[in-house]
Amino acid sequence: MKTIKTILACALCAVILASCQPKSKPLPGITQGAVDSVSTAVGVAFGNMLKSSNLEGLNYSKIVAAIKGVMAGDTTLIFDGQSAPMYIQDYMMKVTDALAIQKEEEEKKFFEENKKKEGVQETESGLQYKIEVAGSEVKPTERDTVEVNYKGMLLDGKVFDSSYERGETVKFPLNSVIKGWTEGLQLIGEGGKETLWIPFNMGYGSRDMGPNLPAFSTLVFDVELVKVFPYVEKEEKTKK
């Protein structure tokens, strides 16, 4: 959740709005065109902040009225500079909980239908997978390091990340990634290929990972396990 970011952004917007208010006398060298442009820029910045902070679907007329009230010094507003951020934080927590329930219901329906497809299996954790190529007998443990090629997609097929597109494999400790990967990569051997359907609670959860990977995303990965590098215990060096 981006509570701190939202509160800071709100504070920043308030400062910018205050500085952009029309004055009784125009400032030297500042044209009306410049004022209009920066006003649009503030709106875009504020809109993007709202869009990425679980604050969509708001009553914009209330927002505008409150801004005007603050700038005019209206003392009858129901929130002040201290209570408003606290209320926003509380509201965002409620929205996050509501979205989680909604997405869980939608995801459950998808997984119920998906596991009916040929070759699709499901683990106790809820992870679904389909092994395309089993690979060798060399399977990784969660402490091992793996080298992979992969393509990550949303349920609508939109690709949000791909090592294939970058033209290079990726190497990482298996216990350093999302739970869906840690469990899923242990199901195939070196040289194997599989498709993973990862519930959002085994992925990035309520975190918004950018415009291509929103919060509560069910993840689909086509993964190729190129190589397994077994974990090696580090010997303690004694100082003499």
The token pair that represents 173 in the structure block:
């400790």
- C-alpha span between 47 and 6 (Å, rounded): 11
Which residues are known to be catalytic?
150, 160-161, 178, 204, 221
Q: With 0-12 CB in 10 A as exposed, 13-18 as middle and 19+ as buried, what is 1?
A: middle
The token pair that represents 225 in the structure block:
């396990």
Instruction: Give every CB contact of residue 69 below 8 A, 6+ residues apart in sequence.
Output: 76, 77
CA 98, 10, 73, 65 dihedral sign is: negative
- C-alpha span between 47 and 9 (Å, rounded): 11
- C-alpha span between 41 and 228 (Å, rounded): 49
- C-alpha span between 50 and 44 (Å, rounded): 10
